[in-house]
Amino acid sequence: EAGVAQSPRYKIIEKRQSVAFWCNPISGHATLYWYQQILGQGPKLLIQFQNNGVVDDSQLPKDRFSAERLKGVDSTLKIQPAKLEDSAVYLCASSPGYGQPQHFGDGTRLSIL
Amino acid sequence: KQEVTQIPAALSVPEGENLVLNCSFTDSAIYNLQWFRQDPGKGLTSLLLIQSSQREQTSGRLNASLDKSSGRSTLYIAASQPGDSATYLCAAPVSGGYNKLIFGAGTRLAVHP
């Protein structure tokens, strides 16, 4: 079974620039999650999709972050404009459904200069 | 509001020791609890998921217990090996949330030969 795929693995940008991350979940997994993990902390949920609908985006800074999941499969997360405090690892995860384990990709490490 | 705390933050032990990692959570109305492992520069790997109806779950040298009444879970690692060196995170779901997880900050484990 192929795991959760994310790209790019690393990204360095200057503040106020824009950036996008891509995630391909495990085939057949209906639920997709984007997390932000700041160094030394546990992951924090940014947005959760069930198929192509948003279930929870309560912690997504909507003035600068956006995400979409087209056709209920791949997803992209965008930041525009980036701030210094956005430096973190952005993790994508997927799960088959309610109460099932979440499976994570290797993440995208974002550095803001 | 669910909050998750892990103690200790870091642990360094010689190979062969038996270890106990602790996780506490504030909202005991959980339906499961999940333990993850994170290697440097990598995403999270699911180790064990304990359903609320279970008291413990085992996988190889790992054993996780769950006590909802006291708001605690422990991860027991038997006969530790250098390959066990990683950060271990526990995650508890949010009541009323659709599989939304709240993570602890993790325990950073180093097992030296």
pLDDT of residue B25: 95
Contact A4, A90 (CB under 8 A): no
Q: Chain B: nearest CA to A72, how far in angstroms?
A: 17
Contact B98, A48 (CB under 8 A): yes
pLDDT digits (tens, 9 = 90+) for A53-90: 999 999 999 999 999 998 889 999 999 999 999 999 99
> Looking at beta carbons, which residues of chain B come within 8 Å of A101?
34, 46, 49
Q: Chain B: nearest CA to A61, how far in angstroms?
A: 17
Q: Chain B: nearest CA to A37, how far in angstroms?
A: 10
Cβ contact, residue pair A99, B101, below 8 Å: no
pLDDT of residue A70: 83
pLDDT of residue B18: 97
Cβ contact, residue pair B42, A107, below 8 Å: yes
Does A99 score more than 80 pLDDT? no
Average pLDDT over residues B35-63: 93
Candidate from B31, B43, B97 with C-beta closest to A91: B43
Looking at chain A, which residue has its C-alpha nearest residue B88?
A42
Provide the 3-class DSSP secondary structure of residue A74: coil
pLDDT of residue A101: 87
- B26 Cβ contact partners less than 8 Å away, ≥ 6 residues apart: B1, B2, B3, B4, B71
Which of B18, B26, B95, B98 lies closest to B61, judged by CA? B18
Higher-confidence position of B62 and B2: B62
Contact A64, A112 (CB under 8 A): no
Cβ contact, residue pair B98, A105, below 8 Å: no
Does A100 score more than 90 pLDDT? no
Cβ contact, residue pair B98, A100, below 8 Å: no
> Looking at beta carbons, which residues of chain A come within 8 Å of B91?
42
Looking at chain A, which residue has its C-alpha nearest residue B97?
A56
pLDDT digits (tens, 9 = 90+) for B57-71: 999 999 999 999 999
B83 pLDDT tier (thresholds 50, 70, 90): very high
